[in-house]
């Protein structure tokens, strides 16, 4: 759902750049406290993995494909601040090197694929810090992953609408319905993949996921 | 670098490169949800002035020197993944402030 260049009006992309810039700045400040020796390599390879995974478009409906967002998964494994840093890096490389997503739309794209899913990922991260995450963690993570794409898709439509670039053939409500239904399907894939990858990384790199310092780690005390 | 971190890097990078450099070639070429929405409803042409980075070596996730095809895509996937990795390692190690290790009671994940 990278917004291409030329579809957002200056007030809209300016606002989104300010919001995402503030979120990134805050993340960088807090990220320091989340970083430890084992998390830096994990952040690096997870960012590389998400870049790669985003290249794998899968069919969702006839003539329509989707790809993983990944911010949600990053925030579960790394916490929201490091997730934001990793996701922003992916989106910046995509925009600067691969012309994927407009440069002026970068803030909007960071918001939709970074800020929103990272907040949702942070919301379920606690479930995975417990000693033995069960079915509840799977189900809530799946649901939150799917919800993230629907929320972001709605956000994209609202940004286009506020920019006056929504296709004139369609009402706002219809546009939201069309985008949300496609992205619910993509989100369900996001949810399933997120659960599988979280389980794999937890099984193999639990210490790096938990970290030695977890400011918000209520679940960690039990570990 | 500890063996733990070396292993994280080796396995993680291997997985990323296989997916970005290999699996991604077999990805669907259909437009994604947003592109399809915009194409179907007739706003594919951007109404505002466009600001895009100039395509230097890559176009649509293909390495331009190799045209299109498996290897053009593979170079894009590998180079892109490694750039992201490099940025994050640099940012990560730059941010990691020096502080005494926090002793923990018991071993995590026992």
Which site among A28, A92, A98, A170 would you substitute to test the B interface, given the most B Cβ atoms closer than 10 Å to its Cβ?
Answer: A98
Taking the C-alpha atoms of residue B52 and residue B54, their distance in angstroms, rounded to an integer, is 6
ipTM over 0.90: yes
**Mean of the pLDDT values across residues A186-197?**
98
The 10s digit of each residue's pLDDT in A134-145 is 999 999 999 999
Higher per-residue pLDDT: A48 or B48: A48
* pLDDT band at B45; cut points 50, 70, 90: confident
CB A182 within 8 A of CB A26: no
User: What domain count does chain A have?
Assistant: 1
**Structure tokens given for B79:** 């180079």
Residue A104: CB partners within 8 Å, gap ≥ 6? A5, A8, A10, A13, A17, B51
CB A73 within 8 A of CB A108: no
Taking the C-alpha atoms of residue B45 and residue A26, their distance in angstroms, rounded to an integer, is 36
Burial of A79 (0-12, 13-18, 19+ CB in 10 A): buried
Structure confidence at residue B54 (pLDDT): 84
The 10s digit of each residue's pLDDT in A4-18 is 999 999 999 999 999
* Confidence check: pLDDT of B107 > 60: no
Q: Is residue B108 part of a domain?
A: no
Q: Closest approach of chain B CAs to the CA of A7, in angstroms?
A: 5
Higher per-residue pLDDT: B21 or A32: B21
* Confidence check: pLDDT of A219 > 50: no
**Residue spans of alpha helices (H) in B1-110:** 3-21, 33-40, 70-95
The 10s digit of each residue's pLDDT in B84-102 is 999 999 999 998 855 555 5
Q: Which of A45, A58, A179 sits opposite B13 (nearest CB)?
A: A45
Structure confidence at residue A221 (pLDDT): 44
Enumerate helices (H) and strands (E) in chain A, giving the number of each. 8, 2
**Mean of the pLDDT values across residues A186-206?**
97
Q: Is residue A19 part of a domain?
A: yes
Q: Residue holding tokens 């071993």?
A: B107
Q: Is A94 on the interface with B (CB under 8 A)?
A: yes
Q: What is the CATH number of the domain that holds A192?
A: 1.10.1760.20
Helix (H, G, I), strand (E, B) or coil at A64: strand
Q: Is residue B1 part of a domain?
A: yes
* Confidence check: pLDDT of A172 > 70: yes
**Structure tokens given for A106:** 């970068």
Longest dimension (CA), chain A: 55
Structure confidence at residue B102 (pLDDT): 57
**Structure tokens given for A9:** 């009006």
Taking each helix axis as running N to C, give the angle between helix A71-78 and helix A80-98, from 0 to 180 degrees, rounded to the nearest 10: 140
Closest CA to B17 of B65, B67, B84, B68: B84
Give me the residues paired with residue A66 across strands: A58
Structure confidence at residue B97 (pLDDT): 59
Q: Residue holding tokens 């992201």?
A: B84
Taking the C-alpha atoms of residue B77 and residue B84, their distance in angstroms, rounded to an integer, is 11
Taking each helix axis as running N to C, give the angle between helix A135-162 and helix B33-40, from 0 to 180 degrees, rounded to the nearest 10: 30
Taking the C-alpha atoms of residue A44 and residue B86, their distance in angstroms, rounded to an integer, is 7
Q: Is residue B100 part of a domain?
A: no
Rounded to a whole number of angstroms, the distance between the first and last alpha carbons of chain B is 23
Please state, rounded to an integer, the average pLDDT across all residues of chain B.
Answer: 85
Taking the C-alpha atoms of residue A130 and residue A113, their distance in angstroms, rounded to an integer, is 27
Q: Residue holding tokens 């505002």?
A: B48
* pLDDT band at A162; cut points 50, 70, 90: very high
Domain residues for the domain of A190 are 10-211
User: What domain count does chain B have?
Assistant: 1
* Confidence check: pLDDT of B104 > 80: no
Closest CA to A71 of A47, A48, A95: A47
Inter-chain contact A64–B21, Cβ cutoff 8 Å?
Answer: no
Higher per-residue pLDDT: B105 or A35: A35
Higher per-residue pLDDT: B77 or B98: B77
* pLDDT band at A152; cut points 50, 70, 90: very high
Q: Is residue B8 part of a domain?
A: yes
Helix (H, G, I), strand (E, B) or coil at A217: coil
Give me the residues paired with residue A32 across strands: none
A47 contacts in B (CB within 8 Å)? 84-85, 87-88
Domain residues for the domain of B5 are 1-27
Taking CA–CA distances from B108, the nearest residue in chain A reads A223
* Confidence check: pLDDT of B12 > 80: yes
Longest dimension (CA), chain B: 61
* pLDDT band at A222; cut points 50, 70, 90: very low
Q: Closest approach of chain B CAs to the CA of A39, in angstroms?
A: 8
Q: Is residue B16 part of a domain?
A: yes
**Mean of the pLDDT values across residues A188-211?**
95
Share of chain A above pLDDT 70, in %: 95
Q: Is residue A219 part of a domain?
A: no
The 10s digit of each residue's pLDDT in A68-107 is 999 999 999 999 999 999 999 999 999 999 999 999 999 9
């Amino acid at each position: 759902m990278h917004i291409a260049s030329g579809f957002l009006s200056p007030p809209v992309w300016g606002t989104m750049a300010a919001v995402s810039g503030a979120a990134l700045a805050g993340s960088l400040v807090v990220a320091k406290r989340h970083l430890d020796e084992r998390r830096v390599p994990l952040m690096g390879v997870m960012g590389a993995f998400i870049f790669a995974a985003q290249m794998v478009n899968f069919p969702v409906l006839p003539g329509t494909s989707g790809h993983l967002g990944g911010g949600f998964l990053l925030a579960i494994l790394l916490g929201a601040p490091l997730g934001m840093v990793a996701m922003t890096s992916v989106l910046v490389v995509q925009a600067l090197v691969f012309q994927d997503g407009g440069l002026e739309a970068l803030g909007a794209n960071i918001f939709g694929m970074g800020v929103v899913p990272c907040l949702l990922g942070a919301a379920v991260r606690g479930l995975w810090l417990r000693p033995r995450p069960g079915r509840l963690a799977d189900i809530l993570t799946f649901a939150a992953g799917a919800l993230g794409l629907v929320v972001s898709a709605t956000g994209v439509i609202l940004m286009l609408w506020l920019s006056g670039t929504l296709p004139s053939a369609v009402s706002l409500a219809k546009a939201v319905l069309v985008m949300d239904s496609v992205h619910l399907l993509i989100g369900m894939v996001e949810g399933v993949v997120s659960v599988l990858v979280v389980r794999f990384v937890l099984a193999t790199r639990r210490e790096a996921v938990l970290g030695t310092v977890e400011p918000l780690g209520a679940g960690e005390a039990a570990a | 670098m500890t063996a733990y971190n070396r292993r994280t890097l080796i396995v993680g990078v291997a997985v990323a490169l296989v997916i970005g450099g290999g699996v991604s070639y077999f990805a669907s070429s259909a437009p994604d949800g947003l592109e399809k929405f915009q194409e179907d409803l007739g706003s594919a042409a951007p109404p505002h002035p466009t600001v895009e980075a100039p395509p230097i070596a890559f176009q649509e996730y293909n390495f331009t020197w190799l045209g299109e095809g498996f290897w053009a895509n593979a170079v894009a996937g590998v180079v892109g993944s490694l750039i992201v990795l490099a940025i994050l390692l640099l940012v990560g190690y730059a941010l990691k402030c020096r502080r005494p290790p926090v002793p923990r009671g018991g071993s995590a994940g026992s």
